[in-house]
Structure 1
Amino acid sequence: MTHYDLVINGAGMAGAVLALGLAGLRRPDGGRLNIALIEAASPGPDLHPGFDARSIALAWHSQTLLQQLDIWPALAPLATPITHIQVSDQGHFGRVEMSAEEYGVPALGQVIELHPTGRELHRRLAACEHITLYCPDRIIRFEQQLQQVNVELASGAAFSAGLLVAADGNRSLIGERLGMPRRRLDYGQSAIIANIATAEPHRGRAFERFTPEGPLALLPMSEGRSSLVWCVSPGRAEALMAMSEAAFLAALQRQFGYRLGKLERTGERHCYPLVLDEALRPWQHRVVLLGNAAHLLHPIAGQGFNLGLRDVATLTEHLARALTAGQDLGSHAVLSGYGRARLPDQAGMVGLTTALALLFSNDHPVLAAGRNLGLSAMAACSPLKSQLAWRAMGKR
């Protein structure tokens, strides 16, 4: 039976970045890790659900992590910098504005489009001789043993590994079969995702606007477009999805205003239900859950992938130290060390995004007054605003 150092189930953003990051590690003898990467979707990012028309906002710190993993140079040409952020509350006076120049950084973050990003990541995966890609294929059986994990695929391939990483999304097959306890919370919202063309150029500006229905964000993209994330009730989402392009843009204009002039066109609209779904202890004997398999967040503040990327970076760091020390990569010592290192950040970000989603998704007079006083205080107090800005940039 073929033996790999580790197996990664899922070649979306988290799984692909982890595989490429680990492929750069060396053992003390100079050898490389042997990595198996399993993906159920058909070959090529065009059909991969993780690399659709959506965009993600990379925090400034996330860009640094991708640079350390030697992945950012390939993605930089695909990114649009965020140089200015405006946070406002519809119908109220509270507003905060932040600029990259104010904090001495080239950009507060970067927006990358998943479709071209997936194409570039998969090109690099295919070119890496230390990564064996099983695609399209899926795990039908796995067994945790004392010294290894045995894996069997639908294609009939079978192999063993020292560590199994589940990067297969919030409905992780591996997490479900292991019965790992999870906490779930239905936010009672859906997110409408679309690309928007505006009369005025965005000039690197990002907007987060809170409405009684839920938060609405527009992020700068390539070709002058903006990426929309509009959170509304499921019933309202159904009505918006059924509208003509003109009616949809008119409804969006009423909520967003004319900060970018007239909203002129929209691309294909997608709709996703919003839930919190987190594994309470995302590791077990020779198995670790990563990215959305470990924690699916509300998109408010755009922190989901940034949190998953910090998982990837920390796991890579712990596995690199284990290699240097001659430790078993899937041992309890290595995985529990990784888990302890990540739990405070994971718990803090889950708590923060959930609190923001609940606070800024209603029009209760007391809550509205409180959050607007908070936004006004941040605008007037540089230390408070700096804390918000650096938190948004990923500095903990």
Structure 2
Amino acid sequence: MDNPAPRPIVSPMNQDSDILIAGGGLNGPVLALALARAGFSVTLVDAAAPAARLARFDGRAYAIAASSRRMLARLGLWDQLAPQAQEMVEIKVTDGRAGEGPSAWWLHFDSAEIEEGPMGHMVEDRHLRSALAAALKATQGVTLRAPAKVVAQETSAGGVSVTLDSGEVLRAGLLVGCDGRASGTAARAGIRRNGWGYGQSAVTCAVEHELPHKGIAHQFFMPGGPLAILPLTGRRSSLVWSERTPRAERLAAMPEAEFLDALRPAFGNFLGEIGLVGSRGRFPLGLSLAERFTARRVALVGDAAHGLHPVAGQGLNAGLRDVAALAEVLSEARKHGEDAGSALVLDRYARWRRFDTTVLAATTDLTTRLFSNDNPLLRLARDAGLGAINAVAPLRRAMIREAAGLTGELPPLMR
């Protein structure tokens, strides 16, 4: 993708930019940077005001896989993020009940077993958004329209036009929906979604603790859902606590002291005393997969294409793979003088990403159903399975590489 030939998108429509991106969360800005780097002019439409994206710390953080870190580095973001990023050198997966401790059989991933270094890094939402905002401001070829919302879209053989809530009309050769699970881009393009809820919601927050976490991430499966304890810089950890929705609602609404009393039996005492840092959030959990990733002059990326349970911590990484794949497909089309918004080009992107995301969706769905219950026969089977995987070094290393995002057909930005 470096030094692309300066060929324009082939399209008879008078365009304001080569590509329009609807959605300014995380995938949208990263895609804008990748496309601008490949020589495209990009308009990014974000419904939120720029200042609203730079909120104070609220506990949200992301597991950035090793392949995603490579991509952020190539886009010039990692130097700013690295001082605030916490290495994940180990992952420990256990099963059990709150207050009773983990099962005797467990799964242990150690970065020392692979050559590429840490499996991933934990990066707080506020730091990632700050780095993206600075990069967008400094990048030629990217125009940010915010706050602004796409309320209508129309496609033709020559391009796509969108109408903003202000009444302004913007034109381009391609529209990319990065606007989440309730994607207006997908709905207006006639793309339906398949999926279901799990009857669970995730409570998110951060805690400070007495003892160092040593860069170890923990996933504790309980009957109501998993508790992920993810290391942040310093003596802090980010929590994603999945519970059945009625209890999750109560947990999110509890006073701080009462919430900590409810958390301690599940959290345990391996990090000493704990206390809350920042606020708590809550969001419902489900699986959602778009029937198609593309339509006429439209492509979907990230949650707009696939919404996953956070059990594997791969939601953002899957979206970044979409970004890297789409950027590569469009860049190659540009180099060969093709219309980057054509069905032929977009079909390459859809074929590249569809299988990978379908397998990931099926894996997270199966894991959620298998572990979010207290059936004694299933408990025995899954605990034995964890122990068996842990005992087979080649299989364990393969799963470590999968967790690090180092398997499959990686786009050049991630190699």
- Provide the TM-score with structure 2 as the length reference: 0.90
Aligned residues of 2:62 and 2:316 also touching (Cα < 8 A): yes
After alignment, is 345-354 or 71-80 more displaced? 71-80
Q: Does 1:147 align with 2:154?
A: no
- Alpha-carbon offset, residue 12 of structure 1: 1.0
Q: Which has the higher contact order (CA 8 A, sep 6+)?
A: 2
Q: 2: distance between equivalents of 1:319 and 1:165?
A: 12
Aligned residues of 1:8 and 1:35 also touching (Cα < 8 A): yes
Opposite residue 213 of structure 1, the aligned amino acid is G
Opposite residue 349 of structure 2, the aligned amino acid is Y
- Alpha-carbon offset, residue 266 of structure 1: 4.1
Equivalent of 1:274 in 285, 297, 302: 285
Within a 5 Å distance, the mapping from 1:28-107 to structure 2 comes to 32-46=39-53, 53-90=59-96, 91-107=102-118
Aligned residues of 1:175 and 1:293 also touching (Cα < 8 A): yes
* CA gap 1:307/1:13 in 2 versus in 1, 3 angstroms: same
What is residue 313 of structure 1 aligned with on the other side?
A: 324
Percent of paired sites with the same residue: 40
After alignment, is 277-286 or 246-255 more displaced? 246-255
Opposite residue 353 of structure 1, the aligned amino acid is T
1:267 aligned counterpart, secondary structure: strand
What is residue 184 of structure 2 aligned with on the other side?
A: 173
What is residue 293 of structure 1 aligned with on the other side?
A: 304
After alignment, is 242-251 or 180-189 more displaced? 242-251
Q: Does 1:363 align with 2:370?
A: no
Q: 2: distance between equivalents of 1:266 and 1:362?
A: 30
* CA gap 1:46/1:325 in 2 versus in 1, 3 angstroms: closer
Within a 5 Å distance, the mapping from 1:11-22 to structure 2 comes to 11-22=24-35
Q: 2: distance between equivalents of 1:314 and 1:198?
A: 39
Q: 1: distance between equivalents of 2:181 and 2:48?
A: 16
Q: 1: distance between equivalents of 2:334 and 2:52?
A: 31
Q: 2: distance between equivalents of 1:155 and 1:60?
A: 41
Q: CA RMSD in A?
A: 1.7
1:44 aligned counterpart, secondary structure: helix
Aligned residues of 2:225 and 2:242 also touching (Cα < 8 A): yes
Aligned residues of 2:177 and 2:304 also touching (Cα < 8 A): yes
Q: Does 1:219 align with 2:230?
A: yes
Aligned residues of 1:84 and 1:98 also touching (Cα < 8 A): yes
Aligned residues of 1:45 and 1:115 also touching (Cα < 8 A): no
What is residue 24 of structure 1 aligned with on the other side?
A: 37
Aligned residues of 1:2 and 1:158 also touching (Cα < 8 A): no
Q: Does 1:8 align with 2:15?
A: no
After alignment, is 244-253 or 340-349 more displaced? 244-253
Q: 1: distance between equivalents of 2:120 and 2:293?
A: 28
1:371 aligned counterpart, secondary structure: helix
- Alpha-carbon offset, residue 72 of structure 1: 2.7
Q: 2: distance between equivalents of 1:280 and 1:347?
A: 11
Provide Cα deviations, 1:89-123, integer angstroms capped at 9, x if missing partner.
12522212222223233311111111121112011
Where in structure 1 do 4 or more consecutive aligned residues deviate above 6 Å? none
Aligned residues of 2:58 and 2:280 also touching (Cα < 8 A): no
2:377 aligned counterpart, secondary structure: helix
* CA gap 1:215/1:242 in 2 versus in 1, 3 angstroms: same
Q: 2: distance between equivalents of 1:216 and 1:53?
A: 15
Q: 2: distance between equivalents of 1:156 and 1:150?
A: 12
1:94 aligned counterpart, secondary structure: coil
What is residue 28 of structure 1 aligned with on the other side?
A: none
Equivalent of 2:269 in 231, 237, 258: 258
Q: Does 1:383 align with 2:394?
A: yes
Consecutive unaligned residues of structure 1, counting only runs of 5 or more, are: 26-31
What is residue 29 of structure 1 aligned with on the other side?
A: none
Equivalent residue pairs, number: 389
Consecutive unaligned residues of structure 2, counting only runs of 5 or more, are: 1-13, 97-101, 408-415
Equivalent of 2:205 in 174, 194, 213: 194
